[in-house]
Amino acid sequence: MARVKVPYLVAKNGRFYFQPSAELRRAGFQALAFGADERAAIAHCRAEAARFAGRAEDAALVERPAGFAGEPNDLRAKRAGETSHQRAMAADTVSAAIAEFQASARYRAKKPKTRRGYDHYLARIDKLWGPAPLAAVTPEALARAYDAIHGSGAVASAQAFGAVARLFFKWAARRRRLADPTVALELERPAAATRIASPAEVLALIAAADRPDDAGGRADPLVGTGVLMALFLPHNPQDLVKLTVGQVAGGALMLTRGKTGERSYLTVPEVLSARILAAAARRPDGGIDNEARILPVSEQRLAKRYARVRARAALALPSLADLELRALRRTARSWAEAGGASLAQAANLLGHSQAQAARLARHYSVAGPALAQGALAAVLASAQGAELAAGLGLSSVFRRSDASPADRRSDGSPRGARRANDKEAG
């Protein structure tokens, strides 16, 4: 077994001591005897060395974020009156490791929404094992916690709990040189999302949204607009609900993904912009407020209204029962590839980050009008896109001013559709 050197740890005749250097003693650190308790001595020496080095995220006493798990912000206040030995033992608890993790650069680099999700499941972990030493959390204990959540019917929550547990315990074990309890843990992973909508399903959703049903159900054209936005501007719903009328009125927009901060240049097809402007002109004064949101609802509210429209549409087309609004993003990507879009065009269409784009293609083109128009043309050049365009009565993808001469053939049609047309001609 390899020997590990712990700073300021001295062993004499089977007993262990924290022996600070002269520099540490001048800073106020004092020697401490731990008897035969090697674990407590190691934990204390590591914590004091980290504290002296000024590495707050590695120290045993770390301030917790406000409101976390109902505990005080400052662990020093909680541990007031404790002996150095007790503080050393507490440094290796699950609660202390969670506090360190939340103060780490890896955690702070995450987006606020991701951190909120982490906090929810870290609070569960803290409630289950907070006072216990990290080494006491076994694969069997984690499996029982996972099975309890899964057995209650909350499959997605169980999978999220397992993912956060893997991330946290792997991080903590590496920092403290402990065995990772999640290595031998077999947890169910979420199935890959592969649902793609058909043109008939998209048309059925729009029809159900635009017309009241025979049972007295009200029309909800906002959902029909949301369906077309999710297909032609295929970004996450939390980004789509922020778009304003003025952003799409010109036929193109630069959209920034809230999740990654990446910017994507998108072309708005005329059938969508006309629908948006027509809805915006229904104000009593007949004017159009360019600052008004196209979908003046929250992401959650849009999902509920979509579910009601989908349920009505599924009465006539049962396959719609499992079609989530987010699946239209994958549908746009699938149709674009079927229509001959390049990887760079597909990446721009979906607003991939630079790292994701690098996985898609070796060379990533700069986002701009040519990419946006080519990608949209490819969507509608696919067999599915052509069927949808026919159902919508869409005769032209672009306005006259949208495409430059370099982006069109001599007959005026978009160059982005050449590959699919050539295949059909062949």
pLDDT in tens, the chain (426 residues): 445 577 778 888 778 887 877 777 766 667 777 777 777 777 777 766 666 654 333 333 333 333 333 333 344 444 444 444 445 445 578 888 898 898 888 888 887 878 888 999 999 999 888 888 888 888 888 888 888 888 887 887 888 898 899 999 999 888 877 888 888 777 666 666 778 899 999 999 999 999 887 666 788 999 999 999 999 999 888 889 999 988 887 888 888 887 777 788 898 998 898 899 888 887 666 667 888 899 999 988 999 999 999 999 999 999 999 999 989 988 988 888 788 887 778 888 888 765 665 565 443 344 567 667 777 888 888 888 888 888 887 765 544 444 443 444 444 444 444 444 444 433
For residue 425, how many other CB atoms are within 10 A of its CB?
Answer: 6
* Residue 12: domain span: 1-91
* 194 within domain boundaries: no
Q: Check: CB of residue 397 under 8 Å from CB of residue 405.
A: no
Q: 218 and 84, same structural domain?
A: no
* 193 within domain boundaries: no
Query: And the tokens for 40?
Result: 């407590």
Q: 387 and 248, same structural domain?
A: yes
Query: And the tokens for 95?
Result: 């609660």
Q: 341 and 214, same structural domain?
A: yes
Q: 207 and 181, same structural domain?
A: no
Query: And the tokens for 330?
Result: 């994958």
* 178 within domain boundaries: yes
Residue whose pair of structure tokens reads 């505990």 in the numeric block: 71
From the list 167, 213, 186, the residue with the least C-alpha distance to 312 is 213
- Between CA 299 and CA 292 the distance in angstroms is 16
Helix (H), strand (E) at residue 306: helix 299-316
b/e map 137-176, b = 16+ CB within 10 Å:
bebeebbebbeebbeeeeeeebbbbbbbbbbbbebbbebb
3-class SS at 6? coil
Helices (H), strands (E): how many in the chain?
21, 5
Of 74, 91, 108, the domain-final residue: 91
3-class SS at 352? coil
Pairing of strands 9-12, 15-18: antiparallel
Residue 55 exposure: Cα atoms within 13 Å on the Cβ side: 13
Q: Which CATH number fits the domain that encloses residue 332?
A: 1.10.443.10
Q: CA torsion, points 407, 411, 417, 418, in degrees to nearest 10?
A: -100
Q: 141 and 254, same structural domain?
A: no
* 192 within domain boundaries: no
3-class SS at 45? helix
* 164 within domain boundaries: yes
| Residues whose CB falls within 8 Å of the CB of residue 157, separated by 6 or more in sequence, listed in order | 149
